A = this chain, B = another copy of it.
C-alpha cells in the first residue's frame, strides 16, 4: 500500500474508477460462457454486471447490478471453511491440505495420488471434507452454515435457490464420486448423502455483490467483522486464510489471478468473485460469463482494472 497517501484519497477516486471499469469490461461480457453443467445456472443473462466495494468503516461504492441476487456457488466455500477453521483450528490441516492443486477443481487424480486428502479446501473435494467437518459438529449442519452466512452478510433474508439446489443434486454425480472416494480413505465421516446435502445447500445460496462484500469484511479486518465487531477468526487465522485464498482461491488459475489482480479472492461458477484488500476494503464483482478455468471472465478483468487503476496492491 506504499502508493496510498490516505484512505480518503482512495475513496475519492473510487466512483470514477468504477465508471471506467464498467465501460472497459462491457465488450467482454459476451466473451465468456455461462456455466451450464446444471440447467438452472444456464438460464442467467450473460450481460449482467455488478460490482460493490466496502471499506472497513462501512462506506459502500457500487455500480451496475450490485443488488441483484446470484448463485454464490464456490464463494460459499470461504464461509464453510471459516466455520470449520474456527472449530478445528490447526487440526483442520490433518484433513485437507493447503497447496494449490494445479488441476481442475473437480479432479480425482491428485486425490488418488494423495490417499484421499484434498489439496486445499477450495477444490470441491476439500470443500466436501469441510462440509463433513461441519456435519460432524452440528445437529443441523446446513441450517447452521446458512445462519452463519446471513450473520456475516448482516442480511436475514438470504436464502437458497431451491431450483439450483435440486439441479445440483440431480447432476451431482461428480461430487458424489469425490465424497465416496474420500470415504473409502476414511476422510469423510458422515453419510455421503448428508455431506452432499450440506455442500449443495450452501453452494445454492443466493446473494448480491453488496451482501458478499459485507460478508467478507472480517477477512480484511484481522478476523473481526468491522461493522458488527463480532470476532470469527484470530488475526493469524485471518491472515492465513487470505494467503490461502491468494494461492488457491481461483481454481487452477490462482497463479494467473495473483499475477494480474494481486489480491486474495474467491470465485464461483455463478460468476461472482469476492476479493480482499487486507486492512482496507473488500470488493465483490459479478458477471456470469466464465473463462475456461471457471472464473468470471469480465469479473477477473474488472478486478485487475480495479487494482491497477487504484494502485492498490499487497505487493
Contact = CB atoms under 8 A, between A and B. Distances in A.
Interface of A: 1-2, 97-103, 107-113, 119-120, 171, 173-174, 176-181, 183-184, 192, 222, 236, 238-240, 242-244, 246-248, 252-256, 258-260, 262, 264, 278-279, 308, 313-315
Contacts of A2: 222, 278-279
Given A102-B102, A313-B239, A173 B177 contact: no
Interface of A is mostly: helix
Contacts of A314: 278, 314-315
Contact of A100 (B173, B242, B254): B254
A99 B180 contact: no
Contacts of A119: 102
Contacts of A103: 102
A259 B243 contact: yes
Contacts of A243: 246, 258-259, 262, 315
Nearest to A108: B108
Given A173-B184, A313-B278, A107 B112 contact: yes
A254 B239 CA distance: 15
Contacts of A254: 99-100, 247
Contact of A256 (B99, B176, B246, B264): B99
Nearest to A248: B255
Contact of A99 (B1, B178, B179, B253): B253
A25 B83 CA distance: 33
A64 B90 CA distance: 31
Given A239-B315, A243-B262, 17 more contacts: A2-B278, A98-B259, A99-B252, A100-B254, A109-B109, A176-B192, A177-B179, A177-B184, A180-B180, A239-B262, A240-B262, A243-B258, A244-B255, A246-B258, A278-B313, A278-B315, A314-B315
B100 A247 contact: yes
A173 B108 CA distance: 14
A278 B315 CA distance: 5
